[in-house]
Amino acid sequence: MQDGSPPHRASDEPDEPDEPGHEPGHGEAAEAAEAPEEGVRARLEGPPVHDEPYPHLLAPLWAWAEEEPDAAAVGVREGDRFAPRSAAWLRDQVREVAAGLVALGVQPGERVALLSRTRLEWTIADLAILAAGAVTVPLYDSAARDQIAHVLGDSEATVAIVEQPEQQQLIAELGDAVASLTHVEVIEQGGLDALIARADDASRAEADRRRATLGPSDLATIVYSSGTTGAPKGCVLTHGNITWNATQTIAHLPALFDGGRRTLVFLPLAHVFARIQVFISLQGRAQLCYSTGVANLREELPLAAPSFLIAVPRVFEKLLEAGRNAAQQRGALFARLFDAAQREALARARAHEQGRRRGLLARARWAVLDRLVGARLRAAMGGQVRWAISGGAALSPDLARFFSEAGVPVLEGYGLTEPSPILTGDPPDRPRPGSVGIAMPATQLRLAPDGELQVRGGQVFQGYWRDPQASAEAFDDGWLRTGDLARFDADGFVWITGRQKEVIVTAGGKNVSPGPLEDLVRAHPLVGTCVVVGEGRPYIGALVTLDADQAPRWARQEGLEDTDLDALATHPQVREAIGAAIDDANATVSQAERIRRFRVLPRDLGIASGELTPTLKVRRGVVGERYRDEIEALYAGHADDR
């Protein structure tokens, strides 16, 4: 989450005066308005969409294959390259698998579960399920047994397509919990080929008929929430919801499809953010290169050479850390140059934001640093990235500033599963770091009296799967309640200030949004996760974990002998460094909101342990229960005090 608080204390002021300039102008893509109705604080509305959306999610691929059959639609890793596959090839694969599902007996509207890591077969299976008139129910490959049982049982899926035999075995062991399930195919055992083998002329004709009759109101997918506060609920999204959001996004960011059109897919496709990346790319006719895993990003970014990148903040943090580590390995001089480049980039960004023109010496200094540092960063990202988009969580404003000044403009957006998912985004010609941009085209936003952001638009779902009570509670007079607190500035930019359900009320009655504090602390390379606590307590505290990759490296650079995480968690030098990061975060909030005490945990929170959702959001209830003793110690007289 982001808010409008000041960034970290600056130490990068120029050593000569900047040349005078002008405050950059702001367009009218979104306009702040006075409250138009009683009980509403403010409203925003994005510009109209002039392009007609496709009738369903298969239509863009079929049109592409018809008009440009040989165009490279996807890419798969083969050795040291991403081998292209054509639009016609992808269409034919989807059509054959869809016919196989029809031959298997899958009926229109039936739910088909999809459990796999991100790979090309995931997209083929997803599109084939839709082409058969069925409904995709995605599952994270990291999902726990109980989560899989809940999703399969609640959706009443009749068929499952999984990646590994172990997943098939797990499902078989669920027994009556998945009574509706009649068939499982395993990708790694030729499951998609087996479906293709079932296809015949009759099933192909029926699949074609079903695809031709699909419309915007037909159900496309049920995406289950991460379940941070309870059992996951199934978000019902139609073909119209998703095609509308893809059309809105392209209207907002047409520059994504200027020149080279290629992107690297590596986020979990079970998450709607990665899924919209696929549908936007098919609609914008950009090649989708499928990564073999996030761990291989540093190797595969140069191989794929994407023209645009879609990622979560942690990826950008890791890319920055990798650049810093590479500089340090080359020696002390290069490490100092990297730090100097980072300081200079932030000074340049702030000067631009304030409408100041940097002095001649500063511009010359940046030209040298950019050649030594910026060029290496761009090359590490493939050398062709013109735009990067960050979503899924809050991005550090200074991180966005650094990448943008280094030649990789990072645009931030905001959304959630229920609106398919994108609601706001930075305008490419005038991003505002720390905000989440302006309202997407044809999207209405308003602030409720308590500051909750509410939304209305064609991308918004109609409710949760077979849960009328939760569906009714999700809306306020026809407006989707996001659960996030926000403010609008005078130029129509949206600033997320906290999560409604996560607001901490201290014993003194002070309301504290933990997200902004946590994001600032987590920006330190030592920190893996920060969890702010203090509900009903006299002051705010925090649990801080160490980054398993960066903490030992940091320790070696600082000359510490023992780099074991257990030892580092109690080392005075580590505590001092984390304390400085907390001081920076505290400088952005009032006295009552500041973190007074913290404890360092020896290990990071994890998905497998149930402490994080698959999208890396903290399950606060689980963490609060599991680390009850550590939290109590924050408020005991013998606790680590600052």
Q: How confident is the model at residue 154 (pLDDT cuts 50, 70, 90)?
A: very high
Q: How confident is the model at residue 230 (pLDDT cuts 50, 70, 90)?
A: low
Dihedral (CA of 14, 18, 23, 27) sign: negative
Angle at 21 between CA 16 and CA 27, to 5 degrees: 140
Question: Is pLDDT above 50 for 255?
Answer: yes
String of DSSP letters for 439-484: EPTTEEEEE-TT-EEEEEETT----BTT-HHHHHHTEETTEEEEEE
Q: What fold characterizes domain 59-214+259-289+301-307?
A: Rossmann fold (3.40.50)
Residues 165-209: tens digit of each pLDDT: 999 999 999 999 999 999 999 999 999 999 999 999 999 999 999
**503-634: what CATH class?**
alpha beta
Question: Is pLDDT above 70 for 532?
Answer: yes
Please give the share of the chain, as a percent, with pLDDT higher than 90: 73
What per-residue confidence (pLDDT) applies to 111?
98
Q: Where are the domains of the chain?
A: 33-46+309-383+386-500, 59-214+259-289+301-307, 503-634
Average pLDDT of the segment spanning 447-459: 96
Strongest mean pLDDT among 220-229, 355-364, 499-508, 560-569: 355-364
Question: Is pLDDT above 60 for 640?
Answer: no
* CA–CA dist 150, 137 (Å, integer): 12
What per-residue confidence (pLDDT) applies to 447?
97
Question: Is pLDDT above 60 for 23?
Answer: no
Q: Find tokens 């009328």 and name the residue.
A: 468
What per-residue confidence (pLDDT) applies to 525?
84
**59-214+259-289+301-307 matches 33-46+309-383+386-500 in CATH topology:** yes
Question: Is pLDDT above 60 for 1?
Answer: no
Q: Find tokens 């004709």 and name the residue.
A: 205
Q: Find tokens 């918004």 and name the residue.
A: 460
Q: What fold characterizes domain 33-46+309-383+386-500?
A: Rossmann fold (3.40.50)
3-state SS track over 28-85:
CCCEEEECCCCCCCEEEECCCCCCCCCCCCCHHHHHHHHHCCCCEEEEEEECCEEEEE
3-state SS track over 314-353:
HHHHHHHHHHHHHHHHCCHHHHHHHHHHHHHHHHHHHHHH
Give the pTM.
Answer: 0.84
Average pLDDT of the segment spanning 626-633: 92
Mean pLDDT rounded to a whole number for the chain: 90
Cis peptide before 421 (omega within 30 of 0): yes
Residues 79-116: tens digit of each pLDDT: 999 999 999 999 999 999 999 999 999 999 999 999 99
Q: How confident is the model at residue 225 (pLDDT cuts 50, 70, 90)?
A: confident
- Tokens encoding 496: 């997320």
Q: 184 and 106 in contact (C-beta within 8 Å)?
A: no
Residues 301-334: tens digit of each pLDDT: 999 999 999 999 889 988 998 998 899 889 999 9
Question: Is pLDDT above 80 for 60?
Answer: yes
C-alpha torsion angle, residues 55, 61, 62, 63 (rounded to 10)? 80
What per-residue confidence (pLDDT) applies to 20?
33
